[in-house]
Amino acid sequence: MLHEVKNAPLPVLICKLEQGESIECQKGAMSWMTPTITMKTGLGGGAGGGLLGGLGKIAKSAITGESIFRNTYTAEQGPGEIAFATTFPGDIISFDVQNGGIVAEKSAYLANTPGVQMDIFFQKKLGAGFFGGEGFIMQKFSGTGKVFLEINGSVCTYDLEAGQSMLIDTGYLAAMEATCTMDVVSVGGGIGNALLGGEGFFNTKVTGPGKIWLQTMPCNNLASALIPYLPLKNN
């Protein structure tokens, strides 16, 4: 499957499918496609088959807030083209997950090729989720294939050596290789820094080995910046 990302900072992922090739996404993600492509809706991958597998997928959907269903688009009537647009200004990045796993924030998922499994990723330490700002529940992509993720704003990539760390403010961690670990650390410098510095009480600490992808415009930051300019609703 050939693919390209066009028109950043409002990008669209365009995939060119040969006959018989497929791509999966969440419901409502498709923007446009050629008539040679057909859609089939089913349970998403990653939990196995049978009753237990289905119950596992339902549980994961309830926890993550993602839809339990996935749409599979297949070029059944000849080669075709399908596009997926982002929901936020930024970029779309392709990740090859066959050499390990990718962990990403819940809202980053856009699409994937068959063979990629999506699972819940729990932080090893509860504090990294409750205080670190990245959310206790993230998503892990494994298996063989490609996953396409949305990045809010621009992306900065760091390749951390074993034991090397980066301190990250709330919302800026978009994705990391599964070989990395997360923890929460206090801002430091006493209560004055926490209350007056504007950075909160905690940061997320990510330690290598592995790559991390940081985004420059988290959704919550943009929303906070726009609030003063929104008209007040009269009651």
Q: Which domains does the chain have, with CATH numbers?
A: 2-220 (3.60.160.10)
Is pLDDT of 38 > 80? Answer: yes
Close Cβ partners of 150 (under 8 Å, ≥ 6 residues apart) = 86, 87, 88, 90, 91, 92, 107, 108, 109, 110
Per residue in 93-147, pLDDT tens?
A: 999 997 779 999 988 999 999 999 988 887 655 555 555 444 567 899 999 999 9
**pTM of the entire structure?**
0.80
Average pLDDT, the chain: 82
Distances (CA, A) of 167 to 35, 160, 205, 222: 47, 12, 5, 21
